[in-house]
Structure 1
Amino acid sequence: MAGDSRVLMDHNMEIGVTPAQVKKLPKHLREAQISTERTHLISDPAKKPRQRYVQKDGKCNVHHGNVQETYRYLSDLFTTLVDLRWRLSLFIFTLVYVVNWLFFGFLWWLIALIRGDLVHADEEGWTPCVENLNSFVSAFLFSIETETTIGYGYRVITEKCPEGIILLLVQAILGSIVNAMMVGCMFVKISQPKNRAETLMFSHNAVISVRDNKMCLMFRVGDLRNSHIVEASIRAKLIRSQQTKEGEFIPLNQTDINIGFDTGDDRLFLVSPLIISHEINEKSPFWEMTLAQMEKEEFEIVVILEGMVEATGMTCQARSSYLDTEVLWGYRFTPVLSLEKGFYEVDYNNFHDVYETNTPTCSAKELAAKLREGPLLPQLSLLSPEPKMHTFDTLNRLSKPDPLGQDEDREERDSGGDRGETNGSAAALEEPHLADGLPG
């Protein structure tokens, strides 16, 4: 510890920060390492807010620009109409019907004008194409009555107008096509399964802790409705920048996170909230990542829950994401299920709550190596203080830095010492064989 303080003091002197100024800084700033590279005079201890790839509500933060081949949208007109916003869909729905009625109303008026029905309509013995059609307005009303099959009985086509009969057949056929197209679009838009995803919940944070002697990444999912999601399955992707060995930079590289695909645990019976676990093993992207390294990494975990809606049979997909700052090391989820008289009750007030648990700060690879040498977890119980419960609001408050350093004493009391050892304990220094496996 003395050596670390001496190195930190040397770094401070290099960048022109005096020891008196260091003491005035909050704890999280004083403990942050300062870069001595030539390209960086001082590193920013707090991560800058990053742009999400997927929002918490599942919306993807990707906009397609400079699309030249826009004709492709018209090749699938039905899907294009369904994907439009509601106000634009209602406008197009109304516009299509009004234009269709006006177009055929104009044709009926044109037939009456050519035949002379508008001039000789009041003469006795004259048989018009459409009775009581004497203006464009009356032709428009007859077009509406014909296509909507209202049939008021005031304006009627006569048998001595073959061109009118042909136009009547054309309007009836095209009108049916327009009705099927537009009503179908509105029905699909109203019954879209993405509305069902509004009642599927994901925990606000993901956690990392030890489960069955293995380091695991966990998050919780739940369904608020009594009607279930049939054939529910879940998968996860790690989104982060990557540079290949050839020097190619991939800004948003996607890596699969195994959450039970090989064992079938990704198939869910989502009746009550479930904790989804990813075992950090040799195939995991977090295999060699320690707590200190994770605090420096920038990544995003996208989780996707899919299944069929029981009421409609349509496929539903719900999405959420966790930034690196939303992955809590050394926490577990608070239980939400309790047994009542004759049924199980789920308390959604604790759905997002977590509590602190003793977790080594070393990587899963180092933990596995230490476990092969001898049992580790029975001795970890000596390092654990009383578990502390944290709600989601409390975690947000604790995660915000105190610019005046007023929360330093409270942080020291809550953490029981330096976070660079193990979560919530400084007793690891008393166990030499444990301190070797739990790097600070």
Structure 2
Amino acid sequence: MNLRDFASSLRRGRGPSENDLGFGSELTSGQSRLINPDGSYNILRKGASSFRPYQALVEMSWPRFFAVIISFYILVNAVFAGLFMLIGLEHLNGAQTDGTWAGDFAAAFFFSVQTFTTVGYGAVSPAGTAANILAAAGALVGLMGFALATGLFFSRFAKPKANIRFSEKATIRPYKDTGYQSFQFQIVNERNNKVINLSAKVTMSWVEKGPEGHKARRFAFLPLERDEVFLFPLNWVIVHIIDEESPLWGKDKETLQEMEPEFLALLQGFDETFAQDVHANSSYLSRDVVWGQQFERMYWPEEGYTVLDLSRLDELKGLGEA
């Protein structure tokens, strides 16, 4: 079931307790999020877990990935350097040392680097069975290491990811001239690629106290003024109209804060670059919601083009301001 089908099933009458998106109703702490602004789950896993190095290397951040690759490179060559020192540097023809431990280690380390990378300048060569076996093993580890690193680089670059930015703030403001209020936030595609059939779903979560004082987290799907755009070339202001059926109906700023709400935004679209569906998530707490303000216009015509200013995504102004 895709996002649009799921949203349709919610509209057909599921109650607040059935719209929990998998978080359940027992998470009642208003100090923490269910979903972080970057779309990740705000969950700290503890206890038994399986270690999957390939998945971890593909999903970790780029700085951490490079740190792991460089650390592996240095560690492996340091191990081989120690083994060459163990059998004796006299088995490395042409190795130049100053007679100190540091000098011997440096000579062995850089010979290991040349073997590991298959550079082989020719100034130093192994002599004897043990040295040749170590050199062959170092070359094999190097070839396998570069093959794995190449595969990881490709997987990381080829992994589809939606670079859709959410505004830092959401706003509650009058909806046109209807007399209703509305909950609004906006999104924009940071990349200059085509994302088509983009659909949005917004769920509101809040803490509700029962008759016996027991707290439970409730969820309700928020119908949107427009829940899908076929093309996404500009920004999109996502609007929920606060009518009589909305859980926000009749709420002011103080009442909303007491509810400890979180607005969960889920997006799904088709990325033509990767020819795959992409997803983006974010959330807003009550402290992220401003009242009585509107978003600045992000685009305007100029010299035959439409200019889209991404820097205006988070800019707000008072109602009626030019």
Q: TM-score, normalised by structure 2?
A: 0.64
Structure 2 CA distance for aligned equivalents of residues 269 and 101 of structure 1: 51
Percent same amino acid at aligned positions?
19
Residue 68 in 1 paired to residue 47 in 2? yes
Q: Deviations over 1:36-63 (max 9, x none)?
A: xxxxxxxxxxxxxx74627995376946
Return the letter of the residue paired with 1:202. Answer: S
Instruction: Give 2:247's aligned residue.
Output: 285
Structure 2 gaps of 5+ residues are 1-29, 97-103
- Structure-2 residue corresponding to 1:270: 232
70, 77, 92: which one aligns with 1:101: 77
Name whichever structure is richer in helix by fraction: 1
Structure 1 residues 17-416: aligned runs within 5 Å: 51=31, 53=33, 58=38, 62=42, 64=44, 67-69=46-48, 71-72=49-50, 75-81=51-57, 89-110=65-86, 112-113=87-88, 118=90, 131-132=93-94, 137-157=106-126, 161=129, 166-182=133-149, 196-197=163-164, 200-202=165-167, 204-210=169-175, 215=180, 216-243=182-209, 248-250=214-216, 252-259=217-224, 265-267=227-229, 269-280=231-242, 284-286=246-248, 289-292=249-252, 295-298=254-257, 299-307=261-269, 315=278, 317=280, 319-323=282-286, 326-328=289-291, 335-340=297-302, 342-346=304-308, 352-353=315-316, 356=319, 388-389=320-321
1:243 Cα deviation from its structure 2 partner:
3.9
5+ long unaligned stretches in structure 1 = 1-49, 119-127, 357-387, 391-440
1:27-84 CA distance string (max 9 Å, x none): xxxxxxxxxxxxxxxxxxxxxxx7462799537694627x232x53xx2123434555
Say if 1:201 and 1:224, in contact at 8 Å, map to a contact too.
Answer: no
| Alpha-carbon separation, structure 2, partners of 1:273 and 1:254 | 27
User: Greater shift after overlay, 265-274 or 319-328?
Assistant: 319-328
Quote the offset at 1:146 in angstroms: 1.0
Matching residue's letter, 1:256: F
Instruction: Provide the secondary structure at the position in 2 that maps to 1:297.
Output: helix
Q: Report the structure, 1 or 2, having the larger strand content.
A: 2
Shift of 1:147: 0.8
Counterpart residue number, 2:27: none
Distance 1:156 1:232, change over 3 A: farther
Q: Verify the 8 A CA contact 1:202 1:320 in the aligned structure 2.
A: no
1:229–1:310 Cα contact (<8 Å) kept: yes
Checking the alignment, whether the CA contact within 8 Å between 1:217 and 1:277 is kept in structure 2 is yes
SS in 1 for 2:187: strand
TM-score, normalisation: structure 1:
0.49
What is the count of residue pairs matched by the alignment? 280
RMSD over equivalenced CA pairs, Å: 4.4
Structure 1's 308 and 105: CA in aligned 2 closer, same or farther, altered over 3 A? farther
Residue 4 of structure 2: aligned partner? none
CA contact (8 A) 1:259 1:266 kept: no
> How much has 1:303 moved relative to structure 2?
2.4
Deviations 1:114-142 (A, max 9, x none): xxx83xxxxxxxxx6x5335865543332
Change (3 A) 1:62 1:346: closer
What is the CA–CA distance in structure 1 between the aligned matches of 2:133 and 2:310, rounded to whole Å? 64
Identify the structure with bigger relative contact order (alpha carbons < 8 Å, sequence gap 6+). Answer: 2
